[in-house]
Amino acid sequence: MIYLDHSATSFPKAPGVAEAMGKALGLGNPGRSGYASSIDASRAIYDVRVGLGSLLGCEEEQIIFTSGATESLNLAIQGLMKPKGRVISTDLEHNSVARPLEYGRRHEGWDWVMLPAREGQFIESLELQMKKKPTDLVVVNHVSNVNGEEQDLEAIRLLCNKMDVPFVVDVSQSIGIDDLRVEDGMALAGGVHKGLMGPMGTGFLALGQGLKPRPLVRGGTGSASEKIEMPESLPDNLEAGTPNLPGIMGLGASLEFIQRTTLKARKEALQVRREVMINGLKGIDGVRVMAPLVGGSAISITTEKDMGVVAQKLWDQNDICVRVGLHCSPLAHQSLGTWPGGTLRISPGPETELKNLENTLLALEEIL
């Protein structure tokens, strides 16, 4: 099998992930008791929290574990916005951002301003909009899951910091690939099953100093049990319920792998594969490439033949995994001009063998 759907989830997972998850099933409930297996579970979560905090440049209590990027983004957006507030986003957002913002627009009276973000357009438009009217939140997709377009996070962060506006970043496509850091007034939200090569159903919200969203969920934390209000301290204030110990321990194993390979090497390897794929695709008749040469994993194309049929033939005849459709990002397709049909998305990972890309290009050329 040639797996080219890393923008959906990584495959295979990092070495040791499955073993770590299995080990978790033999431990007790973390933070709830004083016997050995419960303490071991608590210590395991703490160690992973420290490890992820180290990767992102923040203290362990600033790391909030969630069920995935969607919960993390909802927690950040709904927890930081206020009724009738103003929020600005790009026009390349995934539905994990777009749907909470649309809900807030309809039901909370939010003023949602969506700005074009292709080819570096976002930062100039953002500055004009922020000077025009007070803004309560800026939400940005760091790397598009449709065409791999990257946003200049540092420039956006500096502008938000200057205007004293909280900045939430969807790092679902860049965590584990790019060297990311949590700064004051900033939050990074993502899942761990893509670039980090960890398990599905596990995510994080990393909070910079000065940001503390309202909880989305309230319940047991194993701490301050004498109170019927949520504990004030982080991370407990935002982590109600029994934590996903297998997922978190799986993340711990993937972090060890990422730290061994280095982010710089993974970033460079992914860019090499992106360039090989894009340059090859541009040489195939009947293919239109909808992606910049420099970017993340996702490369979108359209074909003269039915894209669903093309993708099915890639699988049936060549065991090649790609994805067709809107990729949960209708706003991006409206921006790209590929609405409503969508695109055929090819997304290699840093470890994808170059010969597999060459075989994919040959298979595409034969089908088309």
Write the pLDDT tens digit of every residue in 339-364. Answer: 999 999 999 999 999 999 999 999 99
Same domain as 106, residue 208:
yes
Same domain as 356, residue 241:
no
Q: Spell out the residues 6+ positions from residue 177 whose beta carbon is closer than 8 angstroms to its own.
A: 195, 263, 266, 267, 270, 296, 297, 350
Same domain as 159, residue 49:
yes
Could you read off the pLDDT of 13-38 as tens digits, one per residue?
Answer: 999 999 999 999 999 999 878 899 99
Same domain as 102, residue 176:
yes
Same domain as 141, residue 115:
yes
Same domain as 157, residue 250:
yes
Same domain as 349, residue 330:
yes
Residue 108: per-residue pLDDT:
97
Same domain as 285, residue 255:
no
Same domain as 117, residue 165:
yes
Confidence at 261, pLDDT banded by 50, 70, 90: confident
Could you read off the pLDDT of 121-148 as tens digits, one per residue?
Answer: 999 999 999 999 999 999 999 999 999 9
pLDDT for residue 254 is more than 90: yes
- Strand boundaries in the chain, DSSP class E: 2-3, 63-66, 86-90, 111-115, 137-141, 167-170, 186-191, 203-207, 287-289, 299-303, 320-321, 323-325, 343-346
Q: Which of 209, 238, 261 is the last residue of a domain?
A: 261
Q: Which of 261, 285, 314 is the last residue of a domain?
A: 261
Interval 218-239 mean pLDDT: 94
Q: What is the CATH number of the domain that holds 29?
A: 3.40.640.10
pLDDT for residue 204 is more than 90: yes
Residue-number span of the structural domain to which 359 is assigned: 2-11+262-367
Query: Angle at CA 293, nearest 5°, toward 290 and 298?
Result: 60
Residue 220: per-residue pLDDT:
94
Same domain as 103, residue 139:
yes
Residue 57: per-residue pLDDT:
96
Q: Which of 261, 291, 312 is the last residue of a domain?
A: 261
Domains held by the chain: number: 2
Same domain as 134, residue 208:
yes
Same domain as 355, residue 315:
yes
**Averaged confidence pLDDT in the chain:** 97
Confidence at 259, pLDDT banded by 50, 70, 90: confident
